[in-house]
Structure 1
Amino acid sequence: MVLKTLKNNWLWLAISTYLILGCYLLYVTYSTPFLGIKLKEENGQWLVIEPYSEGWANSQGISTGDTIVEVDGEDINENKKYDPIIRVAKELTLLKQGKQLLHIQIDVMDNPEQLLYTLILPACFYLLSLVISIFLYYKQENSSLINLLILFILTVSLAYVSIGASGRLDSVGTVVNRSSMILCLVLLIHFLRNYFLFLHLKWLLIYNIKIIYVVPIMIAVLSFFGIVYPSLNPLFSNLTLWLFFILSVIIFAVLGIGYLKYKTPQLKVVLLSIIIPFLPFLFLFALPEMIFQMHILTGEVCSFFLMLIPYSFICTQLTERIFDMEYFITRLRHYFNFSFVFTIWLLMGLYWLTDLSFSRMTEIFFFTFFSLIALFYIKEKIDYHKRKILFSTKGDYIHRLYTTVDSIGRVVKIEDLLEKFVQEIVSHLEIKHVYVLTYDLQTHQMTSTSPSKKYTQNQINEILLENLSLGDIKKTEHFYIAFIHQDVNYKRILIVDHNKSIYLKEEELLWLELLLLYLNNFIENTKMVEDLLEQLKHMKEADKSQLPWLNKLLWLRFEQEKYQLAQELHDTVLQEQLHIAREMDVFIHTKRTTDIHMNLTKIHDHMIASLNDLRGYCENLKPPLLDTLGLNAALEKFIQKVHKRADFVLIYTIDRLYLEDERLNLIIYRLFQELMNNALKHSHANTVEIHLLETEDGFEINYSDDGVGCKMDDIIVSDSMGIRGMQERVQAFNGKFSIKTDVGEGMSIRIKVVEENHTHSMATKGPTLSRE
């Protein structure tokens, strides 16, 4: 509960900070017009040498060479804030070259281009980043990659939004802009470190990323100094740009070297996703500004390309884990077509019925078009949540398909399977005359699930001549024909008599088509089970060659076990024996008689160690106390050995069990071995708990640790940490096996086995690897 609260707190703390800073920065940008007029002092007068926006300057009558007299009602010489640039002002008084005095009132709305780049686009990006961050948090489980991506998106957005306030020399805007520019790159490095580890690749930089976080903190502190000492601001701005350039080069180098070294397509996509948006800012703004104190494109324009970085991550790396991007695009295209056609139809009607102007028609078009798209999306979501009340059981074909498949799947014989299939069709489609015809390819005889129904030879020929593939349904003059299944002996066909009066709807035909596909798989699986049971029934102890596949399976299993044992002995005991033999050989041929006792002692110690290893292998193969003193004594001795090797606290309880099947004692011992070996080799835990508990009809083993854990998907697709071996042992005795784990959250395993003489119901069920 505490961890969950902390995970929630960090997000809302970040969002609260983001909202407060973002709203303040946007307000500063909106409330103070930015001019950016560069000045030059001549004979105590300040002359205009370059306006920031030439279009705005021309519209206001400002030209190069004009003399600035007053700014916001104050004499220019007394206001050192504007030396040598007029950044913000609401009123200007200037002396034209013709000695004409010009008073200019300035409003934020006077420069639409600047308003677009410093307010409208940042505000849109600001809101979009907030929505996407919250969506990522709630859509995806809280992993370190997602958390870092959220922080990266929010930081990049603040860096972009703060450009306007920073350009106006606002203190908060300057601090936020400089520190967030560096912080976003540090977060990106942190993200890449975790991404390399996620891909199981070696990280090429320092692992302790926390050290790099000193850099944005240092920039924030220097920015505060810049508030107290404004003359240092140009120096700190250059320092920020240089650090931004260095960190960018480091990121490019890590990704480039990583891709050249590992050749993974994921790194190539990430590299391109970062390089392309960075290039305009680095080469058209940052480098020219650092070297020549000038830029090719403005910072606002170049920074806009940087906004593509977090969204390229989402689109290229995380869409499959977060949402199905292709599905949403397909749905959008589908709704676009419907909305566009209906909107055009509506406008044609309005044009014919009314005399609206072209501008009003355009407004109606866009409003109606986007409203319809939103309506379709909302309707789809609401229909899904209300699906249980929108359709009756009869009309809900998905529900009917589920119940039918569930009913058919309980049958174990092919004849019963076909009869059940016919009953379900009769019940759901409310058609009486439904049959399955089975044609014997050897004897050319036709049998039906309804013996009373007779077919003429012409009808039989008509049925057999129909060239149908699996799932095909064709309507003929007298009936519907559907192909069900065919093997080397039989061909099975579904017949539905329509008597020229019954017509199946498209939904019913689709339901029937899907059901036929399921039925074909059921028949194939049932045939395999029947053949297997038949072979097992007729197998004799003296002649096991009747099941060559079983002999092969057992032989491969034995060979695999022998190979593993031979490999372990070769790597341990055999190497130790070879080392002892070399030592003895040197000892025999040596001419020195000194240190004989010391050398013999050393060889003796090696032999004892080798014997102990060999004894350990023997005990693993056949626990010595299990047959003599029982399960509890064998487990106690095993736990004592684990205590000597473990660097974690081991908490355990072992109930005394009274099991009729003695084989279960060995299974329990092997499970303890696997669980403890996993804890010793892989868990890196501080505390491990294992409990053997007696139940009314068997036993239960509960294991848990607070170690590193792992991904559930990694366990399911691979044979990692002995999980598959434990699962197979539990499966052999019809037990239940469940596991719960995640990276950084430890692992817990629960095993429950019921003795067969207590219940027979579990015999039909295998164990499941569940996600608790």
Structure 2
Amino acid sequence: MKKCTYCIFLTYLILGIYVLGITIKTPFVSLTLDTTNGQPVFVDSYYPLWAEQKNIEKGDIIVSIDGQPAMENRYVQQQMIVRSANALTIQKADKSIQTIAVKHRDMPEELYLQILFPIFYFFLAFGVALYVWRRNQNNLSTFLLILFLLTCSTAYISTGASARGNMIGMFVISSCIILCMVLFIHFLQHFFKYLQIKWTYPHSKWLYLLILFIPGFYLMEEIEPSLREFTPILNLSLFAVLVVYAIFILVTSYLRTKLAKIRLIALAFIVPFLPFLLFFVTPEILGHKPILHAEIAALFLLFIPFSFLFIQVNERLFDIEYQLSRLRYYSTLAFFSALLLTAGIALLFMGELSIVHVTSIFLLVFMVIIASFYIKERIDFKYRKIIFSSTGNYVHNLYAAVQRMGKAKNQQELLDRFKYEITEKLGTTAFHIRTITDDSPQHVSYYPQLLLHDAGEEKIMLEIRHALQKEELLWLELLALYVSMFINNLQQIEDLVREIQHIKNTSDTPLPWLDKLLWNIIEKEKSILAQELHDTILQEQLHLARELDVLAGSPTIQKETVLAIREQLLNATKDLREYCENLSPPLLDTFGLQMALKKLIQKVKIRADFLLSAQIDRVEFQDVTLHLVVYRLVQELLNNAIKHAEATEVSLQLQAIPQGFILRYDDNGIGCDIDDLIQSSASMGINGIRERVRAFNGDITIQSSLNEGMHIYIQIQEDGDSYDEHTYYR
């Protein structure tokens, strides 16, 4: 799939560069001529300002084009038009001969609309398509979206070559304007499937047959040259039908589902294509003069890459409702701000600005303000975490303070630590924590107060007798919120401990909820094991039973068949033994942890396609469960290496330390992005490792990035009070 995609990208790139080279090679002039008297007489120009600057007047005779007689030019003969030229020789009415060098820079409209804007659009769409593909490579909807973007950009950049009469350019633009619509409708069908929306329209695969009409149009031209005037009309009509069909699908689907995703796609499609359809395509089909030239109407297509950049079927890049709400909010603020600023500028330059100028100023100011809001949002996101003041970084200190307070074992210790944090950070002792009950005397305070805990009949209040800055007050409010949650959790734990202690002292009856929890855990493990056995060994046994049935009904029994069945039975028995060993490693209890790990590593070396180097020290623990923990950690690390790492070298080291151990794992595999790993199915093994380490108050550090392998450091000691739990991702 990757090679195919690379070939597609390369093909579009080569086509784009080729048609761009044709456009740059020769400037587009489009001079309309009258050849009825046998001479090419100038009538009109596509760029009248340029013709006026070059002193080309109506009635002038075009003598030669790029050094060749004008009447020998194919387009002069067939269409009475000069499409492009680098040099023109004209004869004035006074018989004087004038040679004109045609340069792109002399025709700004041609330079911008046929060269600069198409280059910008092509490489922008190419970059967006490449970016979308890199983010999600294995999805058909994304692939169709990429093809749509590339086809639109190729159609746009080929307009210059087509206008110059280049056959490849004309064929490319004719094919691409049809193909891009077919690809978009095909994309909609798969996107609807992803959204679980029923597709009530004809299957999009039949639309690809329309592409076959394009060679047919050109073949008809060769057979009957008089049809050349109708070929573009047929092509544009087909394009118009597909655009209307796509709009119909989007509008009816949105009315049926009311989904914001459909609304966004509808806007992203209608905004670029509808102006091109209404202002150029429709008048051309009806035989009228277009309201806008094709190059100007096509400028709306510039919205396509920006619109579809965020539309990905996995929604990892874009929360549609959130983005729309931001856009509405920012647009409202920007509209009124831009309106006031534009009104002020209009009053300042009263009478000097036309309506067009005022509108342009308003749009410019509006867009600049919206962009400023988004830039401010990004800056705030980066720097609001660090609120600078004379006493340092409040937010970072908040995280550290919460972590320190979270170690409190009871409510009083928690409040003591809270006081300590306030004193250290704010540099004041002018505060008081007091408990208010229903029986407490009424107390009127003239100082700000924060509610730390409310249990109905009892409230814990923080009274502040010191003037605070806004940043300090924000820090204190957030810290108080955490204190409130900590108190609630501590009280629930204390109530639970008292309940357990009470039941223990009064009776031997076990706790119902504890029994239920343990039962659920056991049943979940049973279900997982049952599914594993069903999908593997049981299926193998059923397959062997069917083979034995066939063998029993056979008049002759072949020895090779019986031996093959026996071999399969031995393999199934081997798999079952491995399941049993994984559930309860027999060597662990018999010969100890070191021997069990060596046996496990030996088995992995046989299965794995990487070079495994292992160094296993002898470790001893007072808590015998730690032996099983170490075994499970090593087992899970090696399983992940086999399934996901794609490594050629894996290193494992178990080192004994006082009252604990250090386990190091390194591989040179594909690595991963830690944020993506946590959300993927492959994170189940990593999360299991983290949970085991966390259960024994251990430290775990995971370092990984794409194509740079994975490195895991684990340290666990039996004295859990001396070591805090930390998990780092880098």
Secondary structure of 2:305's counterpart equals helix
Alpha-carbon shift at residue 555 of structure 1 (Å): 1.9
Q: Give the whole-Å Cα distance in 2 for the aligned partners of 1:21 and 1:578.
A: 61
Cα 1:105–1:523 shift into 2, 3 Å: farther
Work out the CA distance in 2 between the residues paired with 1:115 and 1:745. 47
2:83 corresponds, among 77, 80, 87, to 87
Report the CA distance between 1:700 and its aligned residue: 1.1
Counting matched residue pairs gives 671
Letter in 2 for 1:35: S
Q: Deviations over 1:293-323 (max 9, x none)?
A: 9999754245334322211112544997389
Match of 2:433 among 428, 433, 436: 436
Asked whether the equivalents of residues 160 and 303 of structure 1 are also in contact (C-alpha less than 8 Å), the reply is: yes
Check 1:38–1:402 CA distance in 2 against 1; reply closer, same or farther (3 A cut).
farther
| Pick aligned residue for 1:652 from 609, 613, 627 | 613
Letter in 1 for 2:299: F
Distance 1:103 1:690, change over 3 A: same
The aligned counterpart of 2:389 is 392
Structure 1 residue 752 displacement after superposition: 1.4
C-alpha separation in 1, matches of 2:295 and 2:153: 13
Please give the secondary structure, in 2, of the residue aligned with 1:668.
helix
Please list the CA deviations of residues 4-35 of structure 1 after superposition, one character each: whole Å capped at 9, or x if unmatched.
xxxxxxxxx99x99999999899778xx4623
**Superposed counterparts of 1:318-717, under 5 Å:** 321=317, 334=333, 358-359=352-353, 391-394=388-391, 405=402, 408-409=405-406, 411-422=408-419, 434-441=431-438, 444=439, 446=440, 457=441, 459-460=442-443, 478-496=446-464, 510-532=474-496, 534=498, 540=504, 545=509, 547-575=511-539, 595=557, 604-605=566-567, 607-646=569-608, 648-661=609-622, 662-680=624-642, 682-683=643-644, 685=646, 687=648, 689-696=650-657, 697-704=660-667, 706=669, 712-713=675-676, 715-716=678-679
Equivalent position SS for 1:310: helix
Residues 274 and 625 of structure 1: CA distance in aligned 2, closer, same or farther (over 3 Å) = same
Q: 1:38–1:51: 8 Å Cα contact kept in structure 2? A: no
Which position in structure 1 is the counterpart of 2:295?
Answer: 300
Cα distance in 2 between the residues matched to 1:638 and 1:402: 41
Residue pairs, 1:69-218, within 5 angstroms: 69-71=61-63, 76-77=70-71, 82-83=76-77, 84=79, 85-88=81-84, 116=109, 119=112, 123=116, 160=156, 163-164=159-160, 167-168=163-164
Conserved in 1, the CA contact under 8 Å of 2:129 and 2:150? no
Partner of 1:468 in structure 2? none
Task: Note if contact 1:34-1:87 (Cα within 8 Å) is conserved in structure 2.
Answer: yes
Distance 1:164 1:618, change over 3 A: closer
Aligned pairs (5 A) from 1:281-320: 298-317=293-312
Q: Distance in 1 between matches of 2:571 and 2:491?
A: 56
| Distance change (3 Å), C-alpha of 1:267 and 1:514 | closer
Tell me the amino acid that sits aligned with residue 86 of structure 1: V
Q: Measure the CA separation in 2 of the matches of 1:625 and 1:562.
A: 23
Change (3 A) 1:26 1:495: farther
Deviation, structure 1 residue 674: 3.1
In 2, are the aligned partners of 1:122 and 1:160 still within 8 Å (CA)?
no
CA contact (8 A) 1:409 1:522 kept: yes
Cα distance in 2 between the residues matched to 1:524 and 1:280: 60
Secondary structure in 2 aligned to 1:627? helix
Tell me the TM-score normalised to structure 2 length. Answer: 0.65
- CA distances 1:189-238 after superposition (whole Å, capped 9, x unpaired): 9999999999999xxxxxxxxxx9xx9xxx9xxxxxxxxxxx9xx99x99
Distance 1:632 1:193, change over 3 A: farther
- The 8 Å contact of residues 23 and 161 in structure 2, kept in 1 or not, is answered as yes
Per the alignment, residue 452 of structure 1 pairs with: none
Q: Distance in 1 between matches of 2:589 and 2:393?
A: 60
Q: Could you tell me which runs of 5 or more consecutive residues in structure 1 were left unpaired when the two chains were aligned.
A: 1-12, 202-211, 220-230, 447-456, 463-475
- Aligned counterparts of 1:118 and 1:157: Cα–Cα separation in 2: 18
CA distance in 2 between partners of 1:193 and 1:741 (Å) = 38
Letter in 2 for 1:44: G
Amino acid at match of 2:61: V
Query: Counterpart of 2:695 in structure 1: which amino acid?
Result: A
**Gap runs ≥5 in structure 2:** 1-9, 198-207, 216-224
Q: How far apart in 1 are the matches of 2:75 and 2:287?
A: 24
Aligned to 1:86, what secondary structure does the other structure show? strand
Which deviates more from structure 2 when the two are superposed, residues 18-27 or residues 157-166?
18-27
Query: Matched residues, percent identical?
Result: 33
Q: Which of 44, 55, 80 pairs up with 2:38?
A: 44
Amino acid at match of 1:524: N
Q: Letter of the aligned partner of 1:723 in structure 2?
A: I
Per the alignment, in what secondary structure is the counterpart of residue 390 of structure 2? coil
Q: Secondary structure at the match of 1:670?
A: helix
Residue 765 in structure 1 maps to residue 728 in structure 2: no
Shift of residue 413, structure 1, vs aligned partner: 3.0
Q: CA deviation at 1:631?
A: 3.6
Describe the superposition over 1:407-434 as per-residue Cα deviations: whole angstroms up to 9, x where unpaired: 6555443234334545655676677653
The Cα of 1:702 is off from its aligned counterpart by 0.9
Indicate if the aligned counterparts of 1:438 and 1:490 stay in contact, CA closer than 8 A. yes
Residue pair 2:398, 2:475 contacting (<8 A) in 1 also: yes
